[in-house]
Structure 1
Amino acid sequence: MDLSTLLFSFKKLAAAFALPPLLPLLPIALGLVLLGRFPRLGRTLGWSGVILGLLLSTPASVNWLAAQIEDPVPLSADTIQNADAIVILGAGRRPYAPEFGGATVNRLALERLRYGAHLARATGLPILVSGGSVADETPEAVLMKTALEEDFGIQVRWVEERSRDTRENARYSSAILTLAGMRRVLLVTHAAHMSRAQAEFEAAGLVVQAAPTAWLGNYNETTVGDSWLAELPNPNSAYAGWFAMHEALGRLAYRLSR
């Protein structure tokens, strides 16, 4: 294992402890350990973990968190400005997919691919897919290309298969597009990820028009009459809370590393 792979693995390990579900479990576990000798501190830590877990899985608090990191305004077809290409960022793989004969993209990547295919049909622009691999696996961009061409009927012109994070997505994609004489891109990624991704692609020398998809927050105000049960902690909100925290930490890490 080379140094860059080791550092990448360490980053992923640190993120696992800084995100749900481990994040709220850590103070609970520590509180239980300390309960015998330091009962007040142990109870405080334990209840803090419980409250944090509830906040990261309750619709009201998760919607507030999502609103801090994503712009609720989608791309309008009327505002597309002389773009040269569409760039779709990878979001992960599903290693066990026997129905497809091997690994394929995960559901997050599929959300981005679906919208990228929609934009390609609407604009006729060529597509670049971006995403590498950590070990000796099929690069994610190759899996994305297969899904776009076989499942959506959209041809992919460029495959960037070296990147392992957003900064590398931008760096390697920019090199490919610049060589092809293209600088203006429609950037497709999740709405929560867009601000960080756009900043990285612009820093890499590209002119970016944001094309976000798959919002975490519920920005539809016409929810009167919904069951009160929908406001209880639930798996969908827990997923959105994890994603929002992941992006908030990612932004902080990128700012500190500049």
Structure 2
Amino acid sequence: MHFDLALVLFWLKKLVAAFVLPPLLPLVLTGAGLLLLGRHRRLGLGLAWSGMAVGLLLTTPLTVGWLLAPLEPGRVVDAAEARTAQAIVILGGGRRHDAAEFGGDTVNRLTLERLRYGARLARELQLPVLVSGGAPTGEVPEAALMSQALREDFGIATRWLEGASRDTRDNARHSAEQLRASGVSRIVLVTHAAHMRRAQAEFEAQGFQVVAAPTAWLGRGPGAAEGDPPWPSLPSQNAAYAGWYAVHEWMGLLAYRLTR
């Protein structure tokens, strides 16, 4: 059997991320603190209370909003700027496995949000579309599922499919090969607002001029009134999800900076 070091590292990264992201991170801290109470009471109490504090902070709209603010762009795509691009690139955000109502795997809600906005831009701008998303476990590439959804649900044809990527950096590297071969150097990039900072940096590192087209703000979006919180001030399930996403992106930015 062929040993794929890149695949091993990919899953190792996923395993590590599971323990440093919520909801496991607060639970790990609290659990470790409780286990240490007998022999190291002060350290145990500190860890246990830290876990509870982290869990609370990552589900509270105010603190989650602070985490999101530097990640999410402060404006929607500039239409005039977008018309100067040569292609639209839509990044995958995951799949739904064994969706019975669709007869098998399909795109998940994150990818669907990106596809919906990408389809709207494709109709408005009349630009060709590249979809990017791989298949780390060897199934049908996410890009193929994205192309199918664009065609069947939105009536948009896909010119390029990039199905070899495992992460955002791969999205940029492998997409660059196809786009350069077609003479494309300026793109409209579609992904979630919280993901845009990392994604745009990776495509610019490949030499592209990027027109950012963010969608689905998790924090206070461009249309929010000044001072309005993104959600009710008490901890909520929406804030918990947004907190997970924000920490995920900050960890991704740190990892890419260390491995640049």
Report the TM-score range of the alignment, normalised by the length of the smaller protein.
over 0.9
Deviations 1:48-100 (A, max 9, x none): 10010010011111111100222221112233251110000011111131100
Letter paired with 1:14: V
Is the CA contact (8 Å cut-off) linking 2:81 and 2:211 kept in structure 1?
A: no
Aligned counterpart, 2:24: 22
1:4-19 → structure 2 map (5 Å cutoff): 4-19=6-21
Cα distance in structure 1, aligned partners of 2:226 and 2:210: 32
Identity %: 60
Q: In the alignment, residue 66 of structure 1 is paired with which amino acid?
A: L
Query: 2:172 — aligned with what?
Result: 170
Amino acid at match of 1:43: L
Letter in 2 for 1:35: L
Give me the whole-angstrom Cα distance separating, in 1, the residues matched to 2:218 and 2:98.
26
Q: Which residue of 2 aligns with 1:256?
A: 258
Q: Give the Cα–Cα distance (whole angstroms) in 1 for the partners of residues 70 and 127 of structure 2.
A: 32
**Would you identify which runs of 4 or more consecutive aligned residues in structure 1 move more than 4 Å?**
none
State whether residues 72 and 215 of structure 1, in contact with CA within 8 Å, keep that contact through their aligned partners in structure 2.
no
SS of the aligned residue for 2:89 comes to strand
Query: Amino acid of the residue matched to residue 158 of structure 1?
Result: W
Code of the residue aligned with 2:55 in structure 1: it is G
2:198 to 196, 207, 222: 196
**Equivalence map 1:1-258=2 (5 Å):** 1-219=3-221, 220-221=224-225, 230-258=232-260
d(CA) in 1 for partners of 2:80 and 2:207?
25
Distance 1:79 1:209 in 2: 7
Instruction: Provide the C-alpha distance between the structure 2 equivalents of 1:218 and 1:235, rounded to a whole number of angstroms.
Output: 16
- Structure 1 residue 129 displacement after superposition: 0.1
TM-score, scaled to structure 1: 0.95
Which deviations, in whole Å up to 9, do the C-alpha atoms of 1:2-21 show, x marking residues without a partner? 21111111011011111001
Unaligned runs of 5+ in 1: none
Structure 2: segments with no counterpart, 5+ residues: none
Cα separation, 1, equivalents of 2:122 and 2:154: 11
SS of match in other structure, 1:128: strand
Q: Distance in 1 between matches of 2:135 and 2:66?
A: 33
User: C-alpha offsets along residues 144-170 of structure 1, whole Å, 9 cap, x if unaligned?
Assistant: 001111011111111011111111111
Task: For residue 181 of structure 1, report the CA deviation from its aligned partner.
Answer: 1.3
* SS of the residue 1:185 aligns to: strand
When the two structures are aligned, how many residues end up with a matched partner? 255
Are the aligned partners of 1:5 and 1:134 in contact in 2 as well (CA < 8 Å)?
yes
For 1:223 and 1:113, how far apart are their aligned partners in 2? 31
SS in 1 for 2:48: helix
Tell me the amino acid that sits aligned with residue 105 of structure 2. A
- Report if aligned partners of 1:84, 1:185 keep a CA contact under 8 Å in 2: yes
Q: Which moved more, 1:180-189 or 1:70-79?
A: 70-79
**Is the contact between residue 98 and residue 105 of structure 2 (CA under 8 Å) also seen in structure 1?**
yes
CA RMSD, Structure 1 to Structure 2 (Å): 1.5
- Partners of 1:65 and 1:57 in 2: how far apart? 12
1:100-151 CA distances to partner (integer Å, 9 max, x unpaired)? 0000111111111111001001101010000111112110000000111101
2:90 aligned counterpart, secondary structure: strand
State the TM-score, normalized to the length of structure 2. 0.94
| Further displaced range: 127-136 or 67-76 | 67-76
